[in-house]
Amino acid sequence: MAGKFLLAIKSRTVLKQIQQALEAEAHQVRIAPDGMAVIDLALDQRPDAIFLGVTLAGLSGLEAARAMRALAPTANVPIIFLAENGAEAKQVAEARVPLADCLTAPYDLVEVKTHAAAGWHTGEHVSAVRPLKPENDWLLAILDPLTRLYHRRYLLHQLAYEAKRSARYNLPLAVILVDVDNLKEINHEYGILTGDTVLIETGQLLFKMMRKCEIVGRNDVQDFLVIAPQTDETSARALAERIRQDIAEHHFILEKLDLHVTVSVGVAAVAGNDLGENLTLLGRAEGALAYAKRAGKNRVEMG
């Protein structure tokens, strides 16, 4: 079965080379002449992935990418940016477009094919694990654009609220930091698109494990934060161990890759009668997570 790709690149020479390389693998290739046409064709053709130049006529590649991420039919289509130089590659990195990777000229056609395969194999899978929901503006403002879980700023706000509530009513409180152990290696071997899909799947696994009172979100590039109200140290450790085990046993990203992903987990809990102690929870969990990483990964440590 062949994939379907959309190409929009300023250089005709490069465009022809990439088109021929993909068609040699029996893939279908459509060409978009400018940034506006990329959006139109992507909505009409539903490609498996898009190779997108940073500098294009009309809309730039980054503008077109942002527009496609805002439209439901193209929100999950993988994008491989084609940067002509380091400055363009830096623009792409700083833009932080979800589900996007970047190649920098001169382009290695073997690498192009590898990235095409990664986009093709993960695009449909991403749609399954990252379903689109109707969201209003206020909800979008507190969600991480990749995982669709809460972002760090909102998590810190909620942690402060729960710390005060814990001290006021003398209730236990715990936080759990979950860090993907081998994300850098996955990005290096399979590409950032595959790494992004691992993060999305990890986030969805965590979300499904949580009770209604627990809050989970993306804390940093490769780690997640769980806030667990009314949870003592024993229960927090048990939850953390279940998280570690379930993720280690999960088959990530299709049968063809079947990636083995593990996490390190840092846990901190308080009895809840001291506000100052409550507010140190995150720092203690960060210390426990750092120890878990140093001690060999794929383990739970208490802070």
Residue 117 parent element (H or E):
helix 109-129
Q: pLDDT digit string (tens) for 175-224?
A: 999 999 989 898 888 888 888 889 999 999 999 999 888 999 999 889 99
Domains of the chain: 4-129 (3.40.50.2300), 152-302 (3.30.70.270)
* pLDDT at residue number 256: 58
* pLDDT at residue number 74: 86
- What is the C-alpha to C-alpha distance for residues 238 and 18, in angstroms, rounded to an integer? 51
Residue 137 parent element (H or E):
helix 137-140
* pLDDT at residue number 134: 53
* pLDDT at residue number 254: 57
Entry pTM: 0.75
Q: pLDDT digit string (tens) for 218-232?
A: 998 899 999 999 999
- What is the C-alpha to C-alpha distance for residues 247 and 84, in angstroms, rounded to an integer? 38
- The single-letter DSSP state of residue 174 is E
The 3-state DSSP class for residue 185 equals helix
* pLDDT at residue number 71: 80
* pLDDT at residue number 127: 63
Distance of CA 9 to the CA centre of its chain: 26
**Which residues does the chain have with pLDDT short of 50?**
none
- What is the C-alpha to C-alpha distance for residues 213 and 259, in angstroms, rounded to an integer? 31
- What is the C-alpha to C-alpha distance for residues 146 and 148, in angstroms, rounded to an integer? 6
| CB contact at 8 A, 77 and 130 | no
